[in-house]
Structure 1
Amino acid sequence: MQDGLPTFVDIYLYNDKPKTHLIQRWNFNGLWRDPETTIHVPKSLIFPLQEAEMQGIPLRVPAKAEEVCAFLYGPSWRTSARKGAGYEMKIVDSRPQFIQKNMA
């Protein structure tokens, strides 16, 4: 927290062996040894990294940061949802799937 503003950052560890994508094993499932739960993120969304600043702190961020958020969290990533109550995440064909829960 800086100047009374909470700051949230996601940090992803990945395997960089394939040419077209990054393999992200440790994700919301927490099953890093299960190949069925890996996420394959296209490298074209990540590289080349860009210089950015958050609350005065210099950072390197993905080339297409908003597209990465949409890829990882679904097209409504800007809309608040309560984890466990408002949505669930699944991995289908190495892609994360945001599933909105019926709030009725």
Structure 2
Amino acid sequence: MLMVRVNVGKDKEGKSLEPIVGLLIDTHLMPMQGPPKAMIGEGGKLMQTPGQTGFQAFGVVAAGEGFIVGPLSSMTPMMQPDEEGDDEVKPDGGVAAAEEILS
């Protein structure tokens, strides 16, 4: 498990919301299909073809009283988690913060 900060987006006024801190407990690769494309087919007719397929990585984060599922690109690992949010190393390596979230 890994402590992460999840960027949750912006509010109605366009201000960035505070990131949520939680434990990344699972990851998934989900197949995604892009938007369909148009092309000229036989006889000069306009045809629609399926879009490109690919994979998107999602993470499941335990945070507070629930879970957050979102793209891994919105999550930032916390190598030295602490309660204050600064970069100071805690002697327990963040274990206390992880136990608090899991309890």
Alignment TM-score > 0.5, same fold: no
Structure that is richer in strand per residue: 2
Structure number with higher relative contact order (C-alpha < 8 Å, ≥ 6 residues apart): 2
TM-score normalized by the length of structure 2: 0.24
Higher-Rg structure is: 2
